[in-house]
Amino acid sequence: MAFLQTQWWQLHGQGCLTWTAGGLIINELFKRFGSKRSQEVIAGSPRFSWWNGVTHQFLVFPVLCGLCVAEHGGPLTEWLRSYGNVYYFHRMFHHAFFGYLVKDLTLPITPVLLAHHVVCLGLVLASLCGYPSDVSALFCACVTSLELGSAVFGLQSQFPKNRTLHLLLFPWMTLSNFVSASFGVWYSLHYENVGMASRIIFPVVGIGLCAARQAVENARFRNWTPSGKAD
């Protein structure tokens, strides 16, 4: 019980639980009262999970990230260097992302998506603990740019025959990956008071993730057919 009295729990525990509870309640409402369409399985997950995901990716995370920038009030490059529990919306963003990930663990998901969520949960907890470096603003920016790319992927996955979404997804995902990888390079070159290991590991991992996402999108774009099925 002593852990519940720690500063970390007071700052983050309740927020993570609140956002998680909200996501689980939404899941349960759809399970009990959702339409047949909402229960349809797309790539291993129910359609309502895709709806929830796209809502977070297009609306919740960008709005919270914008509030983070507004709360700081300084130029973007100064905000990217900001961190710490003093920023309320930095904390809320992390709590929202935590809950967003945990809610999916109670639903059917593919092994690849499960591994993705477990890794992301580790990263958000590391950021909340300031490990290996305090980079809460940069974390918010990277997550937002990556999730915006995933948002159009979520739409295209729901409507695989839609040619407009097919054509939009490639440049949109490419831009998302480029921006996210650029944050890693910027961190390596310009972030102050971090060790050399962190300067190397962060961009290598980040660029590697973006490269993997881009490879998946390249294959999807190349193999797409009007029937919605890959050749």
Residue 147 CA to chain centroid, in angstroms? Answer: 5
Distance CA 95, CA 99 (A): 6
Dump pLDDT digits (tens) for 15-46.
999 999 999 999 999 999 999 999 999 999 99
Domain boundaries, the chain: 41-223
Angle at 101 between CA 96 and CA 102, to 5 degrees: 100
Place of tokens 């920016």: 141
Instruction: Give residue 176's pLDDT.
Output: 98
What is the dihedral sign for C-alpha 32, 36, 38, 40?
positive
Confidence of residue 196 (pLDDT cuts 50, 70, 90): confident
As given in the structure block, the two tokens for residue 129 are: 């603990």
Confidence check: pLDDT of 215 > 90: yes
Confidence of residue 185 (pLDDT cuts 50, 70, 90): very high
Instruction: Give residue 160's pLDDT.
Output: 95
Three-state SS annotation for the chain:
CHHHHCHHHHHHHHHHHHHHHHHHHHHHHHHHHCCHHHHCEECCEEHHHHHHHHHHHHHHHHHHHHHHHHHHCCCHHHHHCCCCCCCHHHHHHHHHHHHHHHHHCCCCCCHHHHHHHHHHHHHHHHHHCCCCCCCHHHHHHHHHHHHHHHHHHHHHHHCCCCHHHHHHHHHHHHHHHHHHHHHHHHHHHHCCCCCHHHHHHHHHHHHHHHHHHHHHHHHHHHHCCCCCCCC
Residues 64 and 140: beta-carbon distance below 8 Å = yes
pTM of the full structure: 0.93
As given in the structure block, the two tokens for residue 158 are: 């729901």
Higher pLDDT, 159 or 199: 159
Instruction: Give residue 230's pLDDT.
Output: 60
Dump pLDDT digits (tens) for 78-135.
999 999 888 999 999 999 999 999 999 999 998 989 998 999 999 999 999 988 788 8
Distance CA 214, CA 189 (A): 23
Instruction: Give residue 47's pLDDT.
Output: 97
Distance CA 95, CA 33 (A): 27
Instruction: Give residue 85's pLDDT.
Output: 85
Dump pLDDT digits (tens) for 2-14.
777 898 899 999 9
